[in-house]
Amino acid sequence: MQTNPRLNIRQVTWANPVGADLRAAQQAELDSRFGSTDHEPGPPPSEADTAVFVVAYEKCSGQPLGCGGLRMLDENTAEIKRLYVVPYARGSGVASSILAALEAQAHSHGFSVIAAEAGSAQSDGRSFYESAGFAAVPNFGPYVGVDESFCYSKRLDSHSASHTAMA
């Protein structure tokens, strides 16, 4: 998969202030969509359980456009967490580029499966994962028994994982 020539995708620490601001914007949007702040089953991701966190920047302006991370579920599986693109950059390939970078990082960290969850108020997220080759799976972990959660997974190998260069 070709990388987006308009973007620099950089791995940053969980504590990175730009990443923290993007995560806060994502949570505010989800609070609005769900009508509540109580929309995440289980504990939120943290620095301790996040193997990789990336921020996508526009090359020309340096403006941050989105972010995403990988939470370690077990030695074989990582879960996409906090995949977010600022509203004005949606539809421009930023989310797909972040996902490709996360898949490449998951593969390089030895994960063979990548999982994701999208809630009932995130039909756009569900469509995104389905179009990216994720298959619907039974709810896992904290999503078991949560009717508002839709879970997905995708097996990674050297052919399916994009080897996206990180800046």
Query: Which pLDDT belongs to residue 69?
Result: 97
Give the mean model confidence (pLDDT) for residues 121-134: 91
pTM for the whole thing? 0.90
Radius of gyration of the chain from Cα atoms? 15
Q: How far apart are CA 151 and CA 136, in angstroms?
A: 6
Domains in the chain (CATH in brackets) are 7-155 (3.40.630.30)
pLDDT at 24 > cutoff 70? yes
Residue type at 158 in one-letter notation: S
Query: Which pLDDT belongs to residue 117?
Result: 93
Closest-CA residue to 105 (of 73, 71, 133): 71
Q: Which structure tokens are listed for 5?
A: 């020539």
Give 100's contacts (C-beta < 8 A, 6+ positions apart).
Answer: 1, 3, 162, 164
Residue type at 2 in one-letter notation: Q
Q: How far apart are CA 150 and CA 47, in angstroms?
A: 24
Give 163's contacts (C-beta < 8 A, 6+ positions apart).
Answer: 104, 107
Q: What angle do CA 2, 78, 97 make, to 5 degrees?
A: 20
pLDDT in tens, 72-113: 999 999 999 999 999 999 999 999 999 999 999 999 999 999
Closest-CA residue to 152 (of 134, 125, 133): 134
Query: Which pLDDT belongs to residue 37?
Result: 82
pLDDT at 163 > cutoff 50? no
Residue with tokens 């620099």: 8
